[in-house]
Amino acid sequence: MANVVVVGAQWGDEGKGKIVDWLSERADVVVRFQGGHNAGHTLVIGDVTYKLSLLPSGIVRPNKQSVIGNGVVLDPWALLREIETLKGQGVEVGPDNLSIAENVTLILPLHSKLDIAREEALGGAKIGTTGRGIGPAYEDKIGRRAIRAGDLADREMLEERIESMLLHHNALMRGLGSTEITKDEILEPLLEVAPKILPFVRTVWYQLDEARRDGKRILFEGAQGAMLDVDHGTYPFVTSSNTVAGASTVGSGQGAKAANYNLGITKAYTTRVGSGPFPTELEDEIGQKLGERGHEFGTVTGRKRRCGWFDAVMVRQAIKVSGITGIALTKLDVLDGFDELKVCTGYTLDGENIDHFPASITGQAKVEPVYETLEGWSEPTYGARSWADLPATAIKYIRRIEELIEAPVALLSTSPERDDTILVQDPFED
């Protein structure tokens, strides 16, 4: 039995929620392994729309185990709000079907304050964070001063960790001209939330190891996209964690052989939220049309997404650094009705042709796309559930993308609906 990792192969917002939900029917366990509540997944199931930020997409399916791995940074209050919202929609969430790693780092209210204060201080050079404290929480983790979920069971330990944290953060607050934070401002809310979170806390690495040895299928769910990876993305306009498929093992406590298939989710065009380079961005009527037809607004923030043509260079690079086996191509239907479509097949930098996205900030800002023009299609692809339902030119578009990115299309999504999916290769049967 194969275990599958699902990651974004662009700048996030590729439609991972639907694909993970669709795959979770075949899985026994669904694991979220990095990121925080800055990443959103929208699931449309029948007449009901679910919006998830922290909970794995498998949570909406009965008889599935959902896991929040140690690679996540967890805002306990945001999690509880999300659980209550889902319960209001008839979804059961409890310690029987949700586990939280005991070594997961917690996001505290002070992290959000720091996030916002630092973005404001950057002015026009701001990174474009969501202001939810993700970056500062990861900084505390790496700086060895974080509070983790297991610490909630020990008041004495909590007080020690808070004092260590404030020694660092209050120096920053003073430097930014902000009000310093007292120990009680952090301690009291944590003591109050602890009994609500602790019933979910588990030794997740052990739980997942048992599941693997029992032959259960595990689906590892990433957030954001490969080009937002802190190492391999468009640095510094990136998120604060590793978003490539390799992070699934570190972020869940599993070995490098835990997964057999890495599935990259890729839109049939390109979008990006926030600041940073975007070679194929369209700031014209076509870009506007893509945004309107694709409903390109962030699930979590509501921010309008920037839109552009499909960038095969970027996706190919994401496939290489993430070890992606095959892709799920989403939102093909958004391209219905275009007379012609363009695909970026290369870049020029200072007059020279290059076949990759440069790591330098200067190079990323200066690259110009080289386009290939393809014929569009007038017939609708919306809701198609087999290759026979697709126009011939749409199939040609898909095949050309496969050639350019050097990876096969394993799944094709033609609407937000769960069943409007064409299966080419089942990752669980690879």
Pull the structure tokens for residue 19: 């694909």
Q: What separation, in Å, do the N-terminal and C-terminal C-alpha atoms of the chain show?
A: 8
Catalytic residue among 13, 21, 140, 151, which? 13
DSSP 8-state assignment for residue 323? T
Interatomic CA distance for residues 215 and 211, integer angstroms: 6
The CA distance from 214 to 222, in Å, is: 24
Catalytic residue among 37, 41, 111, 232: 41
Between CA 366 and CA 383 the distance in angstroms is: 39
Catalytic site residue 41? yes
One-letter identity of residue 4:
V
What's the alpha-carbon Rg for the chain, to the nearest Å? 22
* Mode of pairing for the β-strands spanning 98-101 and 48-52: unpaired
Residue type, 321: V
Q: Would you name the residues annotated as active-site residues?
A: 13, 41
